[in-house]
């Protein structure tokens, strides 16, 4: 359960926290939007101080129905952010959240350490080849369609079985391209409705059969705030509850907006296992 980031072996047998930095004007959780260099650095520093192992930087909102963003615009958002953070905090392990091979390549050249692809290569045929050449860890997520169409593609005969089969094919493809470190993200909220998200969380331990680390991205999503009839801004408590369950189901990485609370969940759940 280790991954190689810039020559450093990161042990995921103790779960790690990934802080979300959205360099976008339209991410679903408005308080997570950071567009000026000052705000980016402030958010990054706070997350690192609170214990984040990784920072996940994205310049393309993947919320349902999000607007299309050109490759150039995505690059203009994320590359300066990566460079600024690494200039001030050179040891930071940055994940680039993109489904485009060109953005992944440029971000790694700018100093990012890993690629987080919501489409697992389905939206860019060059992605896995590029990641294999870059020799960086690859987070592959389960999703059908695109961010614009995914909510219409949630018809499953057996959700967990189909997710596991999807990953078995994608893992083989990644290995064929020379990708050594693969992390699985079941894709909560992506081409899945609320009841399906709960089903996926309830059976998430079955993903352990792949023998690979699993990332859980539940933070402040509609599964929480719609179920609790609140807003994304009021969904921190619900996020902590579901993150705790995800940890008990084997999550190796929590991708979150709120690092401090996720670190507390990791600490408390780890005490149960000792």
Residues with a known catalytic role: 221, 255
Q: What is the CA radius of gyration of the chain?
A: 17
Q: Please list the residues that pair with 215 across neighbouring strands.
A: 253
Helix (H, G, I), strand (E, B) or coil at 208: helix
Q: How many whole angstroms separate alpha carbon 222 and alpha carbon 248?
A: 21
Q: How many whole angstroms separate alpha carbon 119 and alpha carbon 115?
A: 11
Helix (H, G, I), strand (E, B) or coil at 94: strand
Token pair recorded at residue 13:
């047998």
Alpha helix stretches (DSSP H) within the chain: 37-50, 71-88, 101-109, 127-134, 159-176, 194-202, 222-227, 236-248, 259-273
The two beta strands, 215-216 and 138-141, are: unpaired
Which residue is it, tokens 């040891």? Answer: 91
Token pair recorded at residue 154:
């949630």
- 41 Cβ neighbours under 8 A, 6+ residues apart: 84, 85, 88
Which residue is it, tokens 């894709």? Answer: 187
């Amino acid at each position: 359960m280790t991954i190689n980031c810039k020559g450093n072996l990161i042990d995921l047998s103790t779960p790690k926290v990934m802080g979300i930095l959205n360099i976008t004007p339209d991410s679903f959780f408005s308080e997570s939007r950071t567009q000026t260099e000052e705000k980016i650095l402030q958010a990054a520093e706070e997350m690192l101080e609170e214990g984040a192992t990784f920072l996940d930087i994205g310049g393309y909102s993947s919320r349902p129905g999000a607007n299309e963003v050109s490759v150039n615009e995505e690059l203009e958002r994320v590359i300066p952010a990566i460079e600024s953070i690494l200039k001030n905090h050179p040891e930071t392990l940055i994940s680039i959240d993109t489904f485009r091979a060109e953005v992944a390549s440029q971000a790694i050249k700018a100093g990012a350490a890993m690629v987080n692809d919501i489409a697992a290569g389905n939206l860019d045929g060059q992605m896995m080849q590029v990641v294999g050449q870059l020799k960086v860890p690859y987070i592959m997520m389960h999703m059908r369609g695109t961010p614009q169409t995914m909510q219409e593609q949630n018809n499953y005969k057996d959700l967990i079985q189909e997710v596991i089969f999807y990953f078995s094919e994608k893992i083989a493809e990644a290995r064929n391209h020379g990708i050594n470190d693969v992390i699985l993200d079941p894709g909560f909220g992506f081409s899945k409705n609320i009841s399906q998200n709960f089903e996926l969380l309830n059976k998430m331990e079955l993903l352990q059969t792949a023998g690979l680390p699993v990332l859980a991205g539940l933070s402040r999503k509609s599964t929480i705030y719609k179920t609790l009839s609140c807003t994304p801004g009021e969904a921190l408590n619900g996020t902590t509850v579901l993150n705790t369950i995800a940890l008990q189901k084997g999550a190796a990485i929590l991708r979150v907006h709120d690092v401090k609370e996720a670190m507390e969940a990791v600490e408390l759940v780890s005490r149960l296992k000792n």
